[in-house]
A and B are shown apart, each in its own frame.
Chain A
Amino acid sequence: MLRKLIGIVALVTLAVTVAACGGGRSGSAESAVPVSLDTSISGAIVIDGSSTVAPLATALAEQFEASAPNVTVTVGTSGTGGGFEKFCKGETDVSDASRAIEPDEEAACAANGITYKTLTVANDGIAVVTNKDNTWATCLTTDQLAAIWEPSATAKTWQDIDPAWPAESFKLYGPGTDSGTFDFFTEVVNGEEGASRTDYAPSEDDNVTIQGVSGEKGGLGYFGLSYYEQNTDRLNLLQIDSGGGCIAPDAKTVQDGTYTPLSRPLYMYISDAALERPEVKAMIGFFVANETSLTKSALYVPLNPDQLKEAEALVDLGTS
């Protein structure tokens, strides 16, 4: 009797579960890029590196695989540093990077005979955000930003930065010290990579930073623009004034570089050995031809005309 009862309960639960399944997705199931099939090329391409660039590499991988079904592309996220380590050992074909290659990494590549080309693949802006209830701050100068974030910063409340502002205490959030975003931000704001005050809440996951800032009235945080754009209703975006007026980050200002100093390029490093293979050449060509829609689908900012010209030159180099 008990067993039958348990059986019935289990069946009902299963039915309810199945009925409740599905239907949660919003957004289309269409691929972003028009696809023309090319079944002549085949091979395997290995991409690894920064987790920031990974969404773009993933978009490229799936779209390219759709157009060239006999090619497999895998994307890893060992981090920019980990990616370079593998790249300079010849273990990967393409290395995603949220920063330029460093001298000791260049040396490691040279020591192993790995030569490569650098491809700028997208632009990204760093958004500085505050809590929705923060009505006083709409624009920060780069000096004020430095005053908040530099290693010797003593500012504890918003009033310490601008006496006209209320004495709401700061709650600072940002990426972890191992992240390329951290390196970039500290370099351009405080003048030196790694130079930052240490009493903020670092996180591997930018969604957590969003949660933190949106939960504290005096909250301030920074992360890639794409994270803000997915959460505009929860946060305020600050404009940044580096001497030429307050500029807000958006696709245009990041692309043409007017949103300074917090615009950065994202890179892919491709080994020359890989570029000699037809499938890699085709993939890079595919990228350059479709870079606007690919970068947009990964929520990044497309290349500006100068960068695009460089990229096209690289593709021509590769095919010659």
Chain B
Amino acid sequence: MNAANRTASTAAANAVASSLVGRRQRSVGARLFLFYLVFSTGFGLVALAVLLGTILVDGLPFLDLTLLTGAPSSNPGMAGARPAILASIMVAIVLVATALPLAVATGVYLEEFAPRDRWWIRLIELNIQNLAAIPSIIFGILGLAFLVRGLGLGPVLLAGALILGLQMLPTVIIAAREALRAVPASVRQGGMALGATRLQVVWREVLPAAIPGIATGSILGLSRAVGETAPLLMVGAATFVSYNPGLLTQYTVLPILIYQWMRLPQADFQGLAAAAIIVLLALLIAMNGFAIWMRNRHERKW
């Protein structure tokens, strides 16, 4: 062995030796860290399992055909949730059609096209973050004043869905911006070096790469919106509606019905409320399932 090789192999041996020693010292901290990580993940999962467990135990005996096809009633033997189920589905559809594109468009503009250093851009950013903290009930007050009365829509499903959409905007915008920001600049630079315009690069390269993050934000925002009660109550959602809702009719949604049933004195209504919760969760899982599929399809490693 010549001198260089000897130096190299000594250095390698030293490195291995020190890493072995270091590994034992580091491993306590690393093990604690791993415990913290598993505990964190497990906490959420256990909480969910307990929650679902109690709901299923209380609700399954009441999950029958009458609940799915019948109209609400003050008689627990006859009460169903059909109008509320349909209204919740319709609200979700309106949200996906209006709030989601609006939020993504805002995120794209702010992240890709807006000039960075202007004061009004900073103001918009601050504004969006602040909107995320506004309690849902204030959106209700806003909706009552401007949509229901101001625009004259009345206490109809469209007004309620639009208000939930406004409430949902900040979550999706913030998630979309972070998703866009995470796309490496090399993607944009490469595209433009090849002669594409900025818009083309965004539409063809950046946005598809950001879909997983946008999907996550959409899941979180949509789930919350469909589960809201307070703003809709302020905007005039009813608690008893026996007919199937349309965009411009009065309506009631599953969370409101659940809240109402939980407060009634008859014990059966508690069980019916739990069963309605199961239906709502099934709805949410179905919606999320689609978004998750989209997310997995567009997953990329950089």
Contacts and interface: CB of A to CB of B under 8 A. Distances in A.
Contact of B242 (A17, A30, A61): A61
Contact of A46 (B71, B73, B250): B250
A75 B240 CA distance: 5
Contact of B60 (A17, A46, A77, A231): A17
Centre residue among A59, A61, A229, A298 by max chain B CB count within 10 A: A61
Contacts of B267: 230
Nearest to A65: B242
Interface string A229-248: 11100000000000000000
Interface string A196-235: 0000000011110000000000000000001101110000
Contacts of B155: 76, 91
Size class of A's contact patch?
35 or more
Contacts of A74: 238, 240-241, 250
B72 A77 contact: no
Interface string B63-94: 11110000111111110000000000000000
Given A51-B263, A54-B239, A206-B265, A62 B71 contact: yes
B75 A297 contact: yes
Contacts of A120: none
Contacts of B266: 27, 230
Contacts of B72: 58, 62
Contacts of A227: 265
Interface string A19-34: 0111111111111100
A22 B239 CA distance: 24
Given A58-B72, A75-B240, A205-B262, A27 B77 contact: yes
Size class of B's contact patch?
35 or more
B150 interface: no
B238 A75 contact: yes
Contacts of A20: 60-61
Interface string A56-87: 11110110010000001111111000000010
Contacts of A59: 74-75
A172 interface: no
Contacts of B270: 207
Interface in B231-278: 233-234, 236-243, 250, 260, 262-268, 270-272, 275
A311 interface: no
Centre residue among A24, A32, A51, A62 by max chain B CB count within 10 A: A24
Centre residue among B64, B155, B262, B270 by max chain A CB count within 10 A: B155
A58 B74 contact: yes
Contact of A207 (B78, B237, B262): B262
B139 interface: no
Centre residue among B65, B237, B264 by max chain A CB count within 10 A: B264
A61 B270 CA distance: 22
A266 interface: no
Nearest to B60: A20
Nearest to A27: B77
A76 B239 contact: yes
Interface of B: 56, 60-66, 71-78, 154-155, 233-234, 236-243, 250, 260, 262-268, 270-272, 275
Q: Which 3 A-B pairs have the closest CB atoms?
A: A24-B61, A22-B64, A75-B240
18 contacts: A20-B60, A21-B61, A21-B64, A22-B61, A22-B65, A24-B271, A28-B75, A58-B73, A62-B71, A62-B242, A74-B250, A75-B239, A76-B237, A77-B260, A91-B155, A207-B270, A230-B267, A298-B74
